[in-house]
Amino acid sequence: MDERAMPRRRIRTGLFFIASLLCLMAGESSNDLRAEDGHASEAREGNIHQGPCTRMINGTQVTLEIQPRPVKAMEDLTFTVTFSGMEPAAAPYVDLGMPGMNMGPNRVQLRHTGPGRYEGPGIIVRCPTGSRTWDARVTVPGAGEAAFVFDVMD
């Protein structure tokens, strides 16, 4: 056997098994994270399917409402963000993502529709793994952000 070929073969064998392990771990870890957030979402966020949910950004109350309800994937949705006691210096926006899973950038641009009120269209996509937990993150440039975690309906 060619002595010089051995280290190369070992490296390639190692790379193959590392790649296989990474594939498996990527799938497993994302499943774990989704499960944890899924269990915690009800307690932390209230129920986005029944009405607006409220969080705080720097002492200001931020309310997120998604319509139509119940909130379903692959439907045209309207996101409404309302601030009480604050008019943001810059237009806020909502980033949609899945906890522990990179679904690509999905930003809902909001436009000013009244005092402390912003509205914009968005779509929550369906994940073929069956996971339904989503994170709608409201960001106010320069002020902070608030996360709303919930499960979409089938």
Residue 67 in the binding site for other proteins (CB under 8 A): no
Does 72 bind other proteins (CB under 8 A)? Our answer is no
Q: Side-chain half-sphere of 54: how many Cα atoms within 13 Å?
A: 6
Candidate segments 43-51, 62-70, 100-108, 144-152, binder of other proteins by CB under 8 A: 100-108
Q: Which two tokens stand for residue 69?
A: 């309800």
Contact between 21 and other proteins by CB under 8 A: the answer reads: no
Residue of the chain from 10, 11, 12, 58 that contacts other proteins (CB under 8 A): 12
Using alpha carbons, list the distances in angstroms from residue 87 to 43, 59, 141, 144, 146: 29, 13, 12, 13, 16
Rule CB under 8 A: which of 22-51 touch other proteins?
A: 22-23, 26-27, 30
104 is a contact residue toward other proteins (CB under 8 A): yes
Number of residues binding to other proteins, judged by CB under 8 A:
29
Task: By CB under 8 A, name the one of 20, 58, 67, 78 that touches other proteins.
Answer: 20
Out of 57, 71, 81, 98, the only residue in the binding site for other proteins (CB under 8 A) is 98
> Which two three-digit tokens encode residue 127?
């994940």
16 is a site residue for other proteins (CB under 8 A): yes
Identify the DSSP state of 140. E
CA distances from 28 to 37, 47, 93, 101, 146 (A): 15, 28, 31, 11, 27
Cβ neighbours of residue 65 under 8 Å, at least 6 residues apart? 51, 52, 53, 79, 80, 81, 82
* Contacting residues toward other proteins, per CB under 8 A: 9, 12-13, 15-16, 19-20, 22-23, 26-27, 30, 74-76, 98, 101-106, 123, 125-130
